[in-house]
Amino acid sequence: MPNFGTRLRAAMEASGPLCVGIDPHPALLQAWGLENSPAGVRSFSLTVVEAMVGVAAILKPQVALYERFGSAGFAVLEETLSLAKSAGILTLADAKRGDIGSTMAAYATAWLDDASPLASDAVTLSPYLGYESLRPAIDLAAQTGRGVFVLGLTSNPEGPSVQHVGGEKSVAKSIIDQVTAENAGAEDMGHVGLVVGATIGDAPAKLGIDLSATKAPLLTPGLGAQGATARDIAAAFAGSYSQVLGTSSRDILKVGPSVNALRAKAAQVRDELLAAG
């Protein structure tokens, strides 16, 4: 299978640089007239997949919102991932896994191994036990043509208390430097991406971080409901905008359950991202 960065670039060129979250929050389920149950989550998820064909490069199911229903929730997630694969849409499991040794290897197998029913095209990872603790997932992703997205600079209020410590020798810069080294041989984008909040402002400049040098796909949560516009993202990621996956969940999902309304809203957001570049 081709490198994940190559597959993602092809999807971005074909459908636009948009990542749509599949976030079956109780409030959204209620707004759609669905039960807060595995059956409600199933209807919600399969509708989103159907609506996003051709308008989103990648879909990002929020694993926690399936996990809360135990095995029944994971069964729905497996079906959602399978349907997306059949529809030709890439998937990113938003699981934020991070551990050490054999446990990390088991997480890698769960999300990135061909034989796993949860196998996704990519998974989000937390590097705060040390970047090299993620090695089993990074290496397995490379072997299977899949990808990982490492938390780099997040926009939650608590993030800077850890990520920004050290200024130009910050924790975030150390992680991002290691991602840059990982992707060094890629012609375009590598298989190790970064999660960088859409509302981080000038944090990369202050921390001496050059995102364009990373060759990393950049997942930028915060578009729409969290306040960032396509123009904001284009300004904040001026040198690396071609790597950006604008990420929107609630702002798109709130217009459901109509497939046509969801598709139209996603297309609008996608077109705004394209125009901003």
- Which of the residues are catalytic? 96
- Tell me the CA distances in angstroms from 61 to 27, 93, 155, 240, 274, one per residue in order: 16, 6, 19, 25, 23
Q: Of 119, 67, 117, whose CA–CA distance to 93 is shortest? A: 119
Are the C-beta atoms of 122 and 91 separated by less than 8 Å? yes
Taking alpha carbons only, the member of 129, 33, 114, 108 closest to residue 81 is 114
Cβ atoms 32, 257 nearer than 8 A: yes
| Inter-CA distances, 8 with 4, 79, 191, 248, 255, Å | 6, 22, 9, 17, 26
Among 208, 135, 224, 133, smallest CA distance to 176 is for 208
* DSSP conformation class of 242: G
Looking from the CA of 16 toward its CB, the CA atoms found within 13 Å total 23
Q: From CA 83, how far away is CA 60, in angstroms rounded?
A: 13
Rounded to whole angstroms, the Cα distance separating 28 from 39 reads 14
